[in-house]
Structure formats: structure tokens, C-alpha cells
Amino acid sequence: MSDELKTFLEGLDSLARECEACKGQAASLKELEEIRVEYLGRKGKLAQNMQTLAKLPNELKPEAGRKANEVKQAITAMIDAWQDELNKAAAAASLSRFDPSMPGRKPGVGSLHPVTLAMDEICEVLVGLGFEHATGPEVENDWHNFEALNIPQEHPARDMQDTLYVSENIVLRTHTSPVQIRSMLNKKPPLAVIAPGKVYRRDSDLTHTPMFHQIEGLLVDREVSMGDLRGTLTAFVRQLFGQKTDVRFRPSFFPFTEPSAEVDISCVMCGGEGKNQDGSTCRVCKGTGWVEILGCGMVDPNVFKSVGYDPELYTGFAFGLGVERVAMLKYGIGDLRMFFENDVRFLEQFA
Ligand code: PHE
């Protein structure tokens, strides 16, 4: 073998040994990368050997090339193995930092909105009393929302509700009462329906929002009396607010009922005392001991006429209540805006 070739091959062997001696020197992947560049990089130690190879006589090149390749593969394999070790050590270290006894992070659980809860509860009681569900559109025409309910154009009662108009004859329903009309047009008596849903009014302050929820009730049959209305609503509010709840009916006015009444219940906050235990005035009933919860009355004969029911044959009662109001009383919520801000810290309490 020529001296030239011998020197070259020995050079490669000592390069491999030199690299092998680096074992354990790289403490991180970054340091290992530096070693890789030092030996295998474009200007690295192996590349320098290749320059020498290029200058060897042609007949020596095959063997020199074979050896150079061998050494390159050996060095690559070595560095790859060290990299594996570093990766494994890093994984083991991170595992050892994992403490299985640490309490986990609790995933958030959603809850029904208090208005939904109140609505469900009210409907459940009424369904228990024999009422069936009915629905109607939130975008309603003038006839269903007003005219058929005995509220003709120019009637001063229209001012009771600040209406949001879509067009001259189309409104966002101002109450759920139009569902009374739709139900009666759909079905002959006897009939007992409830209609929960959204209603809209041009009203926005501390105690009013442009959209809120109502539940309408309507019962029509032969010989339905005011006594039936009182009995039904008394049973209803007592199931909702507790059997000890006092109920009173106050004369009122609605164009679609005659006579009409508003129903008050003994204040849920102070138990009807009008004052708190420390003697201060109850803020929920403002000292009166009573809170209003719904409007009701006997269906006006004019309403029956507009749906083709014979007022000589049938009588009935209707009622409407505000769901947000019931939810505030039931859950002791002091501010209507809570329902619409949807702060999770508030909503979470109903989970
Ligand atoms: N529609 C009335 C309102 O929104 C409530 C009501 C319904 C009164 C049915 C009597 C009978 O104020």
C-alpha cells in the first residue's frame, strides 16, 4: 500500500476515534449540534479530509472513498445515538416532574340560564294543572297582536305598550297574548294552553329591557267562572312559591279581558311583613308586603267574536306573567340587567 493512502486512511481512523472521545460531552441538543457541525458540517473535519482525497492519484481514490464513507456513516450513527439518549433523558426528566397526586384542573360545566330555569319550572306546574303548550311567531301582524285582542287602531290602550314596528302592519309582538288568538283559531273549545316566549317593547331602563319573556295562559270552556280563574292561579302560585304564599287579586284593566285583575303574592323576601328582620323597609316589596306577579281576567266577548267563538256559549280566562320577574323573586336577584350581561360568575350559581 502506498504511504500516501496509508496516511489518508489512518487520518480517517483517528478522526473517528477523536469523535468517539466526544461521547458524553454534549449536555444539550444544542451542544450536540455543535459537535455534528464540527465533524460533519460543510467546512467540518470530514469535509477537510475529502479535500485531501480529491488530491490523491486516481487509482487510490476508490479505496480512500470507501473508507471515507464508512467513517462518515460511523460518525453519523454515533451522533444520532447520542441525540436519542439526550431526548430520552429529557423525557424522563419531565416525567419525574409530573406529580400524579396534584389535583387536576376542573373543566367548566355549563348551566341553564335562570330565565330558562324559571320558564321550565312555571311550565311544569301549569302542565301539571292540565295546560298544553302553544306557540306563535315573535314577528307578528297588527291584527293578532292588537286588533283581534280588542285593541283597535287609535285605541288609547295601544299606548300601554311601546311597540317596535317592523313595518306599518308588522310588529315585534309586545306580549304573548296573540298566541291566544292563534290557538283559538286553530282549535274549538274546550281549550287550555300556555305559551311561553320572548316579547319586545321600546323600553329600556333599570327595570325594563327591550326584550323579555312572558308566559301566557288561556282556558276556554262552557261555564268557566272568575272562581275558576282564582282557584287555578292560587294553586299555580302556591306550587311555584310555596303553599304558605298569600294571594290577592286587585282590579285592573286589559282591553282583552273583562273583568281584569292583577295578582299579587305575599312578598317572598320579607314574608309579607314589609320590613326586614332588622326593622328596615323591605326593598323587594317597598314595604307593602305584596309583589305583583301577573295580569289576568275573563276573556272579553269581543275577543271571542274576532276568532268566531260564540260568547253566549263560551267563557274563559287568560293570564300573562313576566318570567324575569318570577326568576328575580324566586332566586333573589336584585338587578334585571344580570340576566342579560351573562357574567359566568353569576350564571355558574345556577349549575
Ligand atoms: N298581555 C298582558 C301584558 O302583557 C298580560 C295579560 C295576559 C293580561 C292575559 C290579561 C290576560 O301586560
Is the model's pLDDT at 167 over the cut of 70?
yes
Q: 34 CA to middle of ligand 1, Å?
A: 83
Q: 257 CA to middle of ligand 1, Å?
A: 9
- From the list 211, 181, 218, the residue with the least C-alpha distance to 296 is 218
Mind listing the pLDDT tens digit for each residue in 316-329? 999 999 999 999 99
Mutate to test the pocket of ligand 1, among 256, 260, 293, 303 (most ligand atoms within 8 A of CB): 256
What CA–CA distance (Å, rounded) separates 171 from 142?
7
| Start-end of H helices in the chain | 3-20, 29-40, 45-55, 61-96, 114-128, 142-145, 178-186, 226-241, 301-307, 323-331, 338-341, 344-347
- From the list 327, 298, 334, the residue with the least C-alpha distance to 315 is 298
**What is the spatial order of strands in the sheet that 211-221 belongs to?**
132-133, 191-200, 211-221, 315-322, 290-299, 257-266, 247-254
Other beta carbons less than 10 A from residue 345's beta carbon: 6
User: Residue 108: its pLDDT value, please?
Assistant: 81
Span 165-179, mean pLDDT? Answer: 95
Q: Which bin fits 93, alpha (ψ -120 to 50), beta or left (φ > 0)?
A: alpha
Helix (H) and strand (E) counts in the chain: 12, 10
User: Residue 137: its pLDDT value, please?
Assistant: 98
Q: What is the mean pLDDT of the chain?
A: 93
Residue list, ligand 1 pocket, CB within 6 Å: 175, 177, 216, 254, 257, 295-297, 318-320
Is the model's pLDDT at 8 over the cut of 70?
yes
- Phi, psi torsion values for 294, nearest 5 degrees: -160, 165
What CA–CA distance (Å, rounded) separates 132 from 220?
13
Mutate to test the pocket of ligand 1, among 126, 140, 145, 175 (most ligand atoms within 8 A of CB): 175
User: Residue 115: its pLDDT value, please?
Assistant: 96
Q: 39 CA to middle of ligand 1, Å?
A: 89
User: Residue 12: its pLDDT value, please?
Assistant: 92
What CA–CA distance (Å, rounded) separates 56 from 61?
6
pLDDT band at 80 (very low <50, low <70, confident <90, very high): very high
Is the model's pLDDT at 227 over the cut of 80?
yes
pLDDT band at 159 (very low <50, low <70, confident <90, very high): low
Q: How do the domains of the chain map onto residue ranges?
A: 3-96, 114-350
pLDDT band at 284 (very low <50, low <70, confident <90, very high): confident
199 CA: nearest ligand 1 atom: 4
pLDDT band at 197 (very low <50, low <70, confident <90, very high): very high
Mind listing the pLDDT tens digit for each residue in 43-54? 999 999 999 989
Is the model's pLDDT at 116 over the cut of 70?
yes
Q: 99 CA to middle of ligand 1, Å?
A: 61
Residue nearest to atom 10 of ligand 1 (CA): 296
322 CA: nearest ligand 1 atom: 4
User: Residue 160: its pLDDT value, please?
Assistant: 65
**29-32 long-range Cβ contacts below 8 angstroms, 24+ apart:** 29/83, 29/86, 29/87, 32/79, 32/82, 32/83, 32/86
174 CA: nearest ligand 1 atom: 4
> Could you give the percent of the chain with pLDDT greater than 90?
78
214 CA: nearest ligand 1 atom: 4
Q: 287 CA to middle of ligand 1, Å?
A: 26
User: Residue 186: its pLDDT value, please?
Assistant: 96
What pairing do the DSSP bridges indicate for beta strands 315-322 and 290-299? antiparallel
Mind listing the pLDDT tens digit for each residue in 13-26? 999 999 999 998 98
What pairing do the DSSP bridges indicate for beta strands 315-322 and 211-221? antiparallel
User: Residue 94: its pLDDT value, please?
Assistant: 84
Q: 78 CA to middle of ligand 1, Å?
A: 86
Mind listing the pLDDT tens digit for each residue in 141-155? 999 999 999 998 888
User: Residue 62: its pLDDT value, please?
Assistant: 92
Mind listing the pLDDT tens digit for each residue in 125-134? 999 999 999 9
Q: 320 CA to middle of ligand 1, Å?
A: 4
CATH fold for domain 114-350:
BirA Bifunctional Protein; domain 2 (3.30.930)
User: Residue 282: its pLDDT value, please?
Assistant: 92
What pairing do the DSSP bridges indicate for beta strands 139-141 and 164-165? unpaired
The answer to whether the beta carbons of residues 46 and 68 sit under 8 Å apart is yes
**What is the spatial order of strands in the sheet that 170-172 belongs to?**
139-141, 170-172, 164-165
Radius of gyration of the chain (CA): 42
Other beta carbons less than 10 A from residue 327's beta carbon: 25
What CA–CA distance (Å, rounded) separates 313 from 50?
113
